[in-house]
Chains A and B, each alone.
Chain A
Amino acid sequence: DVKVTQSSRYLVKRTGEKVFLECVQDMDHENMFWYRQDPGLGLRLIYFSYDVKMKEKGDIPEGYSVSREKKERFSLILESASTNQTSMYLCASSLAPKYSGRVSTDTQYFGPGTRLTVL
């Protein structure tokens, strides 16, 4: 079974603090993703990585950065936390794409989430 773990389930930080969210997967997946989930807005992709030291911006990268030094670990960094970054953060991983007809993505497996509150 794929296992994706996140460092904290709940986190409370103050405005301006630097925040690190860690994600680890144990299935040797190439791709890793960070999303945030907000009521009424669904899941929005912040950043993803398709290889060690490689990263791509998602739909809402502003205010965030990422680090992937090892294949199994993908970190999300809030350089200076703000109250509008209060959210549920979800990490996911997937294998490299396998092309089956027109499908070019592979199933993403999610961690349990980190609920971050910025005061």
Chain B
Amino acid sequence: SQELEQSPQSLIVQEGKNLTINCTSSKTLYGLYWYKQKYGEGLIFLMMLQKGGEEKSHEKITAKLDEKKQQSSLHITASQPSHAGIYLCGADAGGYQKVTFGTGTKLQVIP
């Protein structure tokens, strides 16, 4: 079965700093989702990447998919307290509509 490993597991950054979160798959990535979760709440869809080399941006968040490395990275530029939360990656698990999720990266942004 596919496993997704996220790194780092947690991150504390000063407001205004840039940061990167990685999601590495044990198998070939065919579709990769990024979600954000505020503490104790549901997941908010950020973006989906489908092809190797694809890059998408949403406000100050950019995600890329590196098919060869079986990895996706999420980059936040000039972080703000509103970026705080848990970021989860999810990947097409190969079964019907099934998605495997990583265990998440907890981000804190200090004003």
Contacts and interface: CB of A to CB of B under 8 A. Distances in A.
B42 A43 contact: no
A106 B101 contact: no
Contact of A105 (B40, B99, B102): B99
Contact of B92 (A31, A33, A105): A105
Chain B interface mostly: loop
B39 to A, nearest CB: 11
Contact of A50 (B41, B42, B97, B99): B97
A55 to B, nearest CB: 13
A110 interface: yes
A interface bracket (residues with beta carbon within 8 Å of B): 20 to 34
B31 A113 contact: no
Nearest to A4: B42
B interface bracket (residues with beta carbon within 8 Å of A): 20 to 34
Contacts of B43: 90, 92, 110
A105 B98 contact: yes
Nearest to B4: A42
A45 B103 contact: no
Interface string B43-70: 1110010110000000000000000000
Interface stretch (A11-19, A78-86, A96-104): A96-104
Contact of A103 (B30, B96, B98): B30
B88 interface: yes
Contact of A104 (B42, B96, B102): B96
Interface of B: 30-31, 33, 35, 40-45, 48, 50-51, 88, 90, 92, 94, 96-99, 101-104
Interface of A: 4, 31, 33, 40-43, 45, 48, 50, 56, 58, 88, 90, 92, 94, 97, 100-113, 115
